[in-house]
């Protein structure tokens, strides 16, 4: 992992459920990320949801992706 690369974390099923309810969306509406992406954690399979933590200035912004 490169120092400038955002941190990728695989969400647990309960966390995915809470995320989808919070934003009133389905998994298919999340942006996609390939399972072969170098930033994706090992063992990711299609359908997993990842949380990306990007540092912008002094804030950390959260982004979510579904593995395709």
pLDDT, tens digit only, all 68 positions of the chain: 667 788 899 999 999 999 999 999 999 999 999 988 888 888 899 999 999 999 888 999 999 999 99
The reported pLDDT for the residue numbered 66 is 96
- Name 31's Cβ contacts closer than 8 Å, sequence gap at least 6: 63, 64, 65, 66
Which CATH number applies to 7-67: 3.90.940.20, 3.30.70.2190, 3.90.1150.10, 3.40.470.10? 3.90.940.20
pLDDT score of 1 = 61
**Measured distance CA(26)–CA(4) in Å, rounded:** 30
Question: Do residues 53 and 9 touch, judged by C-beta distance below 8 A?
Answer: yes
Q: How far is residue 54's CA from residue 56's CA, in Å, rounded to a whole number?
A: 6
pLDDT at 65: 96
- List the domain boundaries for the chain: 7-67
């Amino acid at each position: 992992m490169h120092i400038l690369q955002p941190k990728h974390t695989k969400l647990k099923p309960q966390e995915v459920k809470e995320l989808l309810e919070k934003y009133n969306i389905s998994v298919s509406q999340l942006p996609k990320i390939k399972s072969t992406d170098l930033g994706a954690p090992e063992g990711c399979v299609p359908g997993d949801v990842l949380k990306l933590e990007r540092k912008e200035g002094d804030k950390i912004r959260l982004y979510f992706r579904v593995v395709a």
